[in-house]
Amino acid sequence: MSTDAVTMEKIVSLCKRRGIVFQSSEIYGGIGATYDYGHYGVLLTNNVKAQWWKSLLQERDDVVALDSAIIQHPKTWEASGHVAGFSDPLVDCRTCKRRFREDKLEISECGEQPSKIPGQGKNCDLTEARQFNLMFKTTVGPVEETGSTVFLRPETAQGIFLNFKHYLQFARKKPPFGIAQVGKSFRNEITTENFIFRTREFEQMEMEFFVPPAQADQWYEYWKQTRYDWYIKLGIRPDHLRLRPHDPDELSHYSSGTSDVEYLFPTDWSELEGIANRGNFDLTQHAEHSKQNLEYVDTASGERYLPHVIEPAAGVGRATLAFLCDAYDEDEIDGETRTVLRLHPQLAPVKAAVLPLVKKDGQPEVAREIVTELRERMQVEYDEGGAIGRRYRRQDEIGTPWSITVDHQTLEDRTVTVRDRDSLAQERIAISDLADELERRLRAPWRSPKLDS
C-alpha cells in the first residue's frame, strides 16, 4: 500500500478548490458518478489526450486516426455481443431498496446504519442476482416506435471495426496497422467508486491494431510493453505501476489474452488500461451481421485473411486520476505546509506563470510583454494578485513547473527569475532567452522528484 501523503479525499478536495473537477449538477444536489471538468481539468485532460495521440500518430507511421459517432446502428451491439452479454449481476435489497453488484458486495454499503456489507445486516433481504445491461438506451426520431431504439456507445472500439473497410479501400492500409480514436463512452454503472475512477459518462482512448494472424502474439507483447512505457515516460513511478495478466476465468469470450496496466491508487491497485488480444472475433461478427466481406486482400500475392486485433483501451479520467495521485505531494516551506502537484511538465495544465513582484514601477507592463511572447509557444498565466509567496503556492497546487518573476532588476537589465516548482531553485535568465529555455526544459526527460524523497 502507498505510503504517500496522498489520499483520495485530498485529491477530491484539491480538484474542487482549484477548479479541476466538480461534482456535476452540484446546485441540484449532484447526480451520481457524473463529473464536470473545470478550467485546469480541461487543460490537464487535453494534455493527457495530446500525449496519447502524439505517441501514436506523430511518433510513428503505422497508426491512423478516426472520430466515429456515438450513436451507431443498433445491429452494431448485437454483433459485438453487448446486447446479449454486456451486463452485471445485480441484487436488490427488499428492505433498504438499494441495488448492488453481486460481485462487488464486499465493497458496497447497505442502507442500514451503521452500514454493513449488504446481506450481513439483521434486516437485509436480498433478491437473487439478475443480469442488468449496462448500455444506455434512447430513441431516434420523434416517435418511439419499433426499431427506433438505439444505444449510447459503451466503448469507442466498435466504431473502429465499422469503419475498418474504409481504411482498406480508401487509405489502402495493409496490416499491421492501427486505427485510434478518443471519445466519450457511456455505461450505466451500478457500483460507482472513487471519484472519476468509475463514472457513467467517460472518455476512452482506444486503438485497434490489425495484424496478420500469425503475428498476433508478438504484437500483443509489443503493445503491452509500449503502453506500460507510456505511463512511465510521463512520470508515473515504476513502483506504482504494473502489468497484470488476466486469469483464464477473467478473460472475455473473444480474448486469448488480456493484461491490465494497473496503478497503485491510495485505495489499492486498480486498472488504468486493458490490452487485449481479441483475435478476429469482432471483424468476424460484423462481417456476418452486415453481410460484407471485411477481409484484407493482398492484390499482389492474392493472399486474403481477416486480420487479428490487439486492442489497448485506456480511460482519460482514470489516467488523469493516476497522474494526479502520483503527482500529489506535501512539503514544508518556511514552516508552512505546501501542497504541490509534481506533474510531468508536459502534463501540467499551465507551463509558466508570470508574476510581477509589485503592481507598479512598470513591472506589470513587462510581465504582460513576456506573457504575450510565451503564449505563442505554451500555456501561460499572468497573476499579480497578493503576496508573491502566496502566488507561488497557487501555482504549485496546480503543478505549474516554472514561475517567472519580474522585479526591479528586470527593469534595469531585462532579466527575470525562474523558480522551479520542485527544487525551488531560482535562476536569473535574460528575457530574450526565456522562451527557448522553457521549451528546452519542457522537452527534457523527466523523473518524479518523489522518487528521490
The residues of the shown chain that bind ligand ATP, judged by CB under 6 A, are 155, 187, 189, 198-199, 202, 204, 271-274, 313-315, 317-318
Nearest residue to ligand ATP by CB is 315
Between residues 11 and 272, which has the closer beta carbon with respect to ligand ATP? 272
Report residue 208 as a C-alpha cell.
Answer: 485497434
> Angle formed by the axes of helices 281-290 and 157-169, to 10°?
70
Q: Shortest distance, CB of residue 284 to ligand ATP, whole angstroms?
A: 20
Between residues 80 and 363, which has the closer beta carbon with respect to ligand ATP? 80
Most distant pair of Cα atoms in the chain: their distance: 79
Helix then strand count (H, E) for the chain reads 12, 23
Contacts of 331 (CB under 8 A, 6+ apart): 337, 338, 340
Contacts of 155 (CB under 8 A, 6+ apart): 185, 204, 206, 313
Q: Shortest distance, CB of residue 198 to ligand ATP, whole angstroms?
A: 4
Between residues 110 and 276, which has the closer beta carbon with respect to ligand ATP? 276
Between residues 312 and 401, which has the closer beta carbon with respect to ligand ATP? 312
Between residues 45 and 204, which has the closer beta carbon with respect to ligand ATP? 204
Q: Shortest distance, CB of residue 373 to ligand ATP, whole angstroms?
A: 38
Q: Shortest distance, CB of residue 119 to ligand ATP, whole angstroms?
A: 22
Q: Shortest distance, CB of residue 274 to ligand ATP, whole angstroms?
A: 4
Between residues 48 and 352, which has the closer beta carbon with respect to ligand ATP? 48
- Strands laid side by side in the 99-101 sheet: 99-101, 87-92, 130-133
Between residues 129 and 251, which has the closer beta carbon with respect to ligand ATP? 251
Q: Shortest distance, CB of residue 435 to ligand ATP, whole angstroms?
A: 36
Which residue pairs from 69-72 have beta carbons closer than 8 angstroms and sit at least 24 positions apart in sequence? 69/159, 70/152, 70/153, 70/183, 70/184, 70/186, 71/138, 71/140, 71/150, 71/151, 71/152, 71/153, 72/150, 72/151, 72/153, 72/158, 72/159, 72/162
Give me the half-sphere count of Cα atoms (radius 13 Å) on the Cβ side of residue 301. Answer: 7
Q: Shortest distance, CB of residue 389 to ligand ATP, whole angstroms?
A: 38
**20 vs 384: CA distance, rounded Å:** 21
If you ran DSSP here, which 8-state letter would residue 106 be given? Answer: G
